[in-house]
Amino acid sequence: MKNKLTIIKVGGGILNERKLFEIFLENYSKIKGLKLLIHGGGVIASSYMIRLGIPVKMNKGRRITDSNTLDIAVMTYAGLINKNIVSILQKFNCNAIGLCGADANLITSKIREIKEIDYGLVGDIISVNDNFINQLLKLKISPIICSLTHNGYGQLLNTNADSIASEISIKLSKNYDVTLKYCFDKPGVLIDKNDNLSLKKTISKTDYKQLVNNKIISDGMVPKIENCFYALENGVNNVFIGDHDIIKTTDDCSKIIL
Amino acid sequence: MKNKLTIIKVGGGILNERKLFEIFLENYSKIKGLKLLIHGGGVIASSYMIRLGIPVKMNKGRRITDSNTLDIAVMTYAGLINKNIVSILQKFNCNAIGLCGADANLITSKIREIKEIDYGLVGDIISVNDNFINQLLKLKISPIICSLTHNGYGQLLNTNADSIASEISIKLSKNYDVTLKYCFDKPGVLIDKNDNLSLKKTISKTDYKQLVNNKIISDGMVPKIENCFYALENGVNNVFIGDHDIIKTTDDCSKIIL
């Protein structure tokens, strides 16, 4: 029987609210068994960019990353956010280590091809080196991975955190029984976006197609849910999507099923 | 017989000059056997502080660190500098991992006591956890450690990189034959600070006392050289101080001897 591994992807406003985020991390530290956290930090990156007079450019919710933007992403994701997460987790007796995709050659990627939009220094994942993650998990060290990868030729690349979460989960599902939880600002998929009580608790592929047709799932939620199906179709055991309470219980969130 | 381990501390202007620094890192990648790099990044931190309108406060070359200053130190040391070092080393086929003292609980420290000066969020080292460093070295992964530690209670602390270098070197000298090289902007201790040919190639404790009395060693060089003696007196095999060429050869630098 495989060991259980919980993989959490955290994003959204919670990273920016120190007290809420500390509670989140305390709950993370209480997850039984092996665990791994993936985070972005776009809101904090944008706030530093504005302070530094660097233009924030987005296309359909994805950041266009020139070299100044990448510097700020590296500073905030791999520095400010990642190391504060690690030091707070140490306080809660969770031995954590903060990493980006260049560390120990964890995640290699290639620069995104220019089609309609030139996203700049954005990487699409080529491979995940699970050996080192396995070593860390054996040592009871929890990896905290930020949304940066590298191309192997000295270039760091900004990479979507949801994609990192699904690719790492798939790779680790070879050796572990993986539960992947995407944690964002809403309790899950809402039939009425203004009513948390309209939460859809399970979403199959058939449901998904209907929800897209009815425009209930749209914009940034589309790639998010597609990442969930992609993970399930490639070996991940369970995938949930919900708000920060998802870390304690999956009673009030959306479970994605094939 | 113990395995050899080379520990390099790099600081000063070289961090700020991409081309020179790449050559330095290529030379680092060519060091035979086990190796570990420690770096600061004060110049780059200060430049971002100025751009963000955060006052830069120093006392005798040491940074007074309020919470805004710490954020910038974390962003630049653990983010921008550390991750660029790692991605460049990966290009040179040196499998590196970037860490701060909170990662894997590597270096714990306590906030510096307030005497004449309140240095703020500055940490004095309490302990180095060599177990994890040993694991990394066994896996042929080179640790790249920035000058930040943590207090174990959720607080990151700014910590002198020279002190981190000496404490890590001492701790690892239990298991390794350690050579420690401090790399800065000058070729070593100069009798005439304007003449690189006046380099003093060996410095014993007796030499050191004379050089301090004659004011040839002063200011920031005093704690630097004292760190060297401290390391030698506590198990480190060899200590050198010089410019960035020290990484290739110790022919033109100062060797500190007991």
Among the partner residues A78, A91, A97, nearest to B153 by beta-carbon distance: A91
A-chain residue closest to B132, CA distance: A139
B176: which strand partners?
A: B3
Q: Which residues contact B209 (CB under 8 A, 6 or more apart)?
A: none
Find which of A103, A142, A144, A158 to mutate to test the B interface (most B CBs within 10 Å of its CB).
Answer: A103
Q: What is the pLDDT of residues A111-148, one digit of tens each?
A: 999 999 999 999 999 999 999 999 999 999 999 999 99
Q: What is the mean pLDDT of chain A?
A: 95
- Most B CBs within 10 A among A49, A54, A75, A156, hence the mutation to make, goes to A75
CB contact under 8 A, A150 and B87: yes
For B18, nearest residue in chain A (alpha carbons): A154
- Which pair of tokens denotes residue A15? 């990273």
Q: How many angstroms separate the CA atoms of B123 and B143, rounded?
A: 21
A134 falls within a domain:
yes
pLDDT of residue A201: 96
- The dihedral of CA A211, A215, A220, A226: what is its sign? positive
What pLDDT shows up at residue A95? 98
Query: What total of structural domains would you count in chain B?
Result: 1
Cross-chain residue pair B80–A76, CB shorter than 8 Å: no
Residue ranges making up the domain that contains B229: 3-256
CA distances B231 to B124, B132, B180, B237, Å, are 16, 21, 8, 8
Nearest CA of chain B to the CA of A81: how many Å? 9
Tokens of B210: 């004379």
Domain assignment present for A253: no
- pLDDT score, position B26: 98
Alpha helices in A53-124 (DSSP H): 67-73, 82-91
pLDDT score at A205: 96
Residue A156 pLDDT > 90 = yes
pLDDT at position B94 is 98
Q: Do B79 and A84 touch (CB under 8 A)?
A: no
A204 domain residue, yes or no: no
CA dihedral sign, ordered A36, A41, A42, A45 = negative
| Predicted confidence (pLDDT) per residue in A3-53, tens digit | 999 999 998 788 888 899 999 999 999 999 999 999 999 999 999 999 999
- The type of residue at A206 is T
- Asked if B82 lies within 8 A of A82 by C-beta distance, the reply is no
Tell me the two tokens of residue A211.
């929800």
Which token pair is B110? Answer: 């306590």
ipTM at complex level:
0.96
Task: Report how far residue A150's alpha carbon sits from residue A107's, in angstroms, rounded to the nearest whole number.
Answer: 7
* Model-wide pTM > 0.80: yes
Give the minimum alpha-carbon distance from B39 to chain A in angstroms, rounded to a whole number: 14
Confirm whether A8 is domain-assigned.
yes
For residue B220, the SS3 value is: coil
Between chains, do B82 and A84 touch, taking CB under 8 Å as contact? no
Q: Binning pLDDT at 50, 70 and 90, where does residue A56 land?
A: very high
Closest partner residue to B87 (CB to CB) among A79, A135, A155 is: A155
Q: A250 Cβ partners below 8 Å, 6+ apart?
A: A181, A240, A242
Residues B145, B104: contact at Cβ < 8 Å?
no
Of the partner residues A79, A150, A154, the one whose CB lies closest to the CB of residue B75 = A79
pLDDT at B146: 98
Partner residues linked to B123 by β-bridges: B111
Instruction: Tell me what pLDDT residue A16 has.
Output: 87
- How far does the CA of residue B217 sit from the closest CA of chain A (Å)? 35
Chain B residue numbers with beta carbons less than 8 Å from the beta carbon of A19 are none
In a domain? residue A201: no
Which segments in chain B show pLDDT lower than 50? none
Nearest chain B Cα distance for residue A232, angstroms:
31
Is residue A81 over pLDDT 90?
yes
A210 located within any domain: no
Q: What CATH number is attached to the domain comprising B121?
A: 3.40.1160.10
